[in-house]
Chain A
């Protein structure tokens, strides 16, 4: 007899299916209705008997009190569970920001393996799931999650733009160049001044062997890249270093690589872009100071 294989880690179709919130049972309304019917029928049947009516009134009051307390307890329990779920989502967000991917992945697996309480928590978790999948270089899975999100929910424009950017980057990583080009045209229509889009264009040009074009985009869009990307500007410098390297402009490549590694660790850049990893050890990275005050 063959043993059942353990469930795959971050199995996207299973997580998408398993995390759909269950419709809430309408038992509260049923119980309200039942109590109402019970009180009315007992009152009606005791109409001719004043003593029985007194007893019915008493128990009717107790029942109502019990119902009120019960409703309060149920509401409090539901609110507590929803708050706990929201806190889990916030914890996942922090783990993703701090790049503690393993912890984030484990929490996402746990959270999305069962129906979430709210659709908002599910959608937020799916966005973080896509980031974690991209970190593990599972770009096809990440694209599947992005497509699902864009097809099945309405986000605000900034979030939609962010998801589309991540999807376009994942497409480039998977060499879906036609799809990526279409996605970039779409992004250009939405927000032509987006630094994220500029970074994707630079990556596309480096990847497809057009380093001069990548350098042009970088020069033209540097102010936007600086104001929007923060330390991810290191990504752009690293790709430009590769572009200069492809053009045998070694001095410029070395300078750009030093800037990139001032902002980000070289290992992180090598992990993100195989094209940058191709020039590993060719140019010296910026050396961070060692030691600090106690």
Chain B
């Protein structure tokens, strides 16, 4: 099993080496073409040199394509829950040299996804920060997924300020449906932790529609958070309806063990202590320039992912 530090070291080395190699190859091609127009070209045949450069380039790209395939396969393995096999694939892809920065980033991001599934939050944070520190030219997906995972892990570690910063970076991106679902899950968690119940309950109908097409555990957790927000904002009808849905989807005891704040939905006696402690302990320090608690704006979604427009 590859350690996080080793993965990061290899990632940095390959990114630097890849950039260097691309520059060397580009200079080589330019030099070969110059040979056609200078007397030195009579002694050294430029066509042969170009062919040699082409062979090197093809070999390196073959390795890159292989790495890209390994990264894609590991994504499929993670999606089907085969984490050990996925980790082996990721290790192979990270150990293999690749000229493409996005292939390497994808490998590191997949490792972060595995660590997230294993609930190894600090490792996930390190990996996501590393991926995000490298400028992504083409891959918007890497940046969005990295930020979502970073926010998720930081929330689990109780770093609300860090989670806010990670989420705030997403509002400049257009999101796919699955990214919008992930954002909603992390966002509800964040808003519940800072006690922003009014904000959490806003646009509840759209949020519920989006939650309905999530996997069962996430659908239940998001709707439970919304039920709590409804309870806190005096909408008992919504609170009751959402709580009953959650009870059908998952075991409430398991859910409250993961998120003790949600106990209040089933046990009204914990109401005062839970809400005050959440508000007191979970509020992140106010930003230096803005005294208001950091609330999150709504991100742009693709035309197809606006659940409010999903009329049948």
Q: Which A156-203 residues have a C-beta within 8 angstroms of B?
A: 156, 158
| Chain B residue nearest to A229 in the complex (CB) | B216
Q: Are A263 and B245 in contact (CB under 8 A)?
A: yes
- Which residue among A68, A156, A228, A292 has the maximum number of chain B CB atoms within 10 Å of its CB? A292
- Which residue among A65, A231, A262, A286 has the maximum number of chain B CB atoms within 10 Å of its CB? A231
Closest Cβ of chain B to A238, distance in Å, is: 13
Q: Which of A64, A68, A97, A292 contacts B201 (CB 8 A)?
A: A292
Q: Are A263 and B248 in contact (CB under 8 A)?
A: yes
Q: Is the interface of A mostly helix, strand, loop or mixed?
A: helix
- Which stretch of B152-160, B183-191, B234-242 is in the interface? B234-242
Q: Are A156 and B76 in contact (CB under 8 A)?
A: yes
Residues of chain B contacted by A268 (CB below 8 angstroms): 312
Q: Are A289 and B212 in contact (CB under 8 A)?
A: no
The answer to whether A158 and B249 touch (CB under 8 A), given A61-B33, A100-B310, is: no
Residues of chain B contacted by A99 (CB below 8 angstroms): 310, 312
Chain A interface size band reads 35 or more
Say if the beta carbon of A94 comes within 8 Å of chain B. Answer: yes
Say if the beta carbon of A98 comes within 8 Å of chain B. Answer: yes
As a 0/1 sequence over residues 45 to 73 of chain A, the CB contacts with chain B under 8 angstroms (1 = contact) are: 00000000000011011001100100000
Q: Is the interface of B mostly helix, strand, loop or mixed?
A: helix
CA distance A226 to B217 in the complex (A): 9
CA distance A143 to B198 in the complex (A): 48
Residues of chain B contacted by A39 (CB below 8 angstroms): 47
Q: Which of A58, A226, A262 contacts B36 (CB 8 A)?
A: A58
Q: Which of A60, A97, A259, A294 contacts B202 (CB 8 A)?
A: A294
CA distance A60 to B311 in the complex (A): 62
Q: Are B201 and A61 in contact (CB under 8 A)?
A: no
As a 0/1 sequence over residues 228 to 242 of chain A, the CB contacts with chain B under 8 angstroms (1 = contact) are: 111101000100000
Residues of chain A contacted by B302 (CB below 8 angstroms): 91, 94
Q: Which of A57, A226, A237 contacts B41 (CB 8 A)?
A: A57
As a 0/1 sequence over residues 49 to 83 of chain B, the CB contacts with chain A under 8 angstroms (1 = contact) are: 01000000000000000000000000010001000
Q: List 10 A-B contacts (CB under 8 A).
A: A58-B37, A64-B36, A91-B302, A94-B302, A98-B305, A98-B307, A227-B217, A233-B216, A262-B245, A293-B203
